[in-house]
């Protein structure tokens, strides 16, 4: 339950009067109002939603499968991850073999991401192959998803250009070029990290080839980098469900806390729960800006 405050106030300027009414604040965050006005507190009962399984699963060629399974919480609850311990995670490989992933929570030192389940076999993922995931628990919940391995799109060149400011203020922008395949509906995620990929990226955005299919693409940055910066440039080739998931996450972030923003729901790539299951296809280049 939350409490909102309805306020009605009359402002008079010359011969004109303006009446404003609105939502002023939550019970724990309402501000003190100055001036004459009427106030009424209204209790709003929030509907109860059952907790759903939330999964993040990013498979990679040449790596053991690692996935993260948590539970959703109420919107106003503390943002503390809830990790169920009774979830069985089964990965189906392209040849039909099924592998039950072990529940061994840990952290991937290579990426810095936490995981709850891990496989024992190194994946061999080829473009066009399909992987499937199934999650079940003792409460009867079931989550399923499948993903096709995208074709690898290689980076052609990475270059940079400095501005003409004095050396202490000199910065460079980075350009990354690649050839988009002739097939329509290709989607990309572009990232630049400093030194290593287990930090938050300095640059990150997604693009699609709707207007320039089959041509050379150039993705760039602002004047963000200093001389001798070590950068890791990553170009991901995405399938459409993962691209839509990333777009919806960004839209939800932009709308959160914005009174003028349009609410946005997360477009999961799985059924029966929330989250994403995909196979990553990417190339990286490490460069030193000189």
Q: Given this model, what pLDDT does residue 168 score?
A: 92
Q: Where are the domains of the chain?
A: 2-44, 53-148, 155-240+282-288
Rounded mean pLDDT of the chain? 86
Q: What is the pLDDT of residue 27?
A: 39
Classify residue 30 by burial, with Cβ atoms within 10 Å: 0-12, 13-18, 19+: middle
What would the pLDDT profile of 140-179 be if each residue is shown by its tens digit? 999 999 999 999 999 999 999 999 999 999 999 999 999 9
Q: What angle do CA 38, 41, 42 make, to 5 degrees?
A: 130
Q: What is the C-alpha to C-alpha distance for residues 96 and 117, in angstroms, rounded to an integer?
A: 20
Give 243's pLDDT tier (boundaries 50, 70, 90).
Answer: very high
> Both tokens of residue 253?
């972030």
CB 143 within 8 A of CB 117: no
Mean pLDDT of 76-104: 92
pLDDT (tens digit, 9 = 90+) per residue, 26-46? Answer: 334 444 444 555 677 777 676
Distance CA 19, CA 120 (A): 66
* Rounded average pLDDT over 207-232: 94
State in words which class domain 53-148 has.
mainly beta
Q: Is there a contact between 230 and 193 (Cβ–Cβ < 8 Å)?
A: no
- What topology does CATH give the domain 155-240+282-288? Immunoglobulin-like (2.60.40)
Intrachain domains 53-148 and 155-240+282-288 with the same fold: yes
pLDDT at 204 over 70: yes
Q: pLDDT digit string (tens) for 91-129? A: 999 999 999 999 999 999 888 889 999 999 999 999 999
Residues 225-231, mean pLDDT to the nearest whole number: 96
């Amino acid at each position: 339950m939350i409490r909102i405050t309805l306020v009605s106030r009359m402002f008079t300027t010359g011969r004109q009067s303006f009446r404003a009414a609105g939502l002023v604040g939550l019970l724990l965050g309402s501000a003190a109002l100055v001036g004459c006005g009427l106030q009424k507190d209204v209790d709003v009962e929030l509907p109860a939603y059952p907790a759903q399984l939330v999964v993040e699963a990013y498979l990679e060629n040449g790596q053991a499968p690692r996935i993260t399974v948590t539970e959703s919480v109420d919107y106003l609850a503390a943002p503390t991850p809830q990790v169920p311990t009774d979830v069985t995670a089964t990965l189906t490989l392209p040849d039909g073999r099924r592998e039950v992933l072990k529940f061994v929570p840990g952290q991937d030192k290579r990426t810095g991401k936490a995981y709850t389940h891990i496989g024992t076999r190194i994946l061999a993922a080829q473009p066009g192959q399909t992987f499937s995931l199934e999650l079940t628990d003792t409460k009867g919940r079931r989550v399923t998803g499948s993903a096709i391995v995208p074709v690898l799109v290689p980076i052609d060149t990475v270059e940079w250009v400095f501005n003409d400011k004095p050396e202490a203020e000199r910065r460079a922008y980075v350009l990354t070029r690649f050839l988009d395949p002739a097939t329509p509906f290709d989607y990309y995620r572009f990232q630049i990290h400093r030194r290593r990929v287990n930090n938050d990226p300095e640059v990150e955005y997604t693009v699609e080839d709707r207007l320039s299919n089959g041509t050379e693409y150039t993705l760039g940055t602002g004047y963000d980098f200093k001389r001798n910066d070590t950068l890791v440039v990553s170009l991901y080739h995405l399938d459409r469900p993962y691209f839509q998931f990333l777009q919806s996450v960004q839209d939800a972030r932009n709308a959160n806390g914005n009174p003028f923003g349009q609410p946005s729901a997360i477009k999961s790539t799985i059924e029966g729960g929330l989250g994403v299951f995909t196979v990553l296809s990417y190339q990286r280049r490490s460069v030193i800006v000189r």
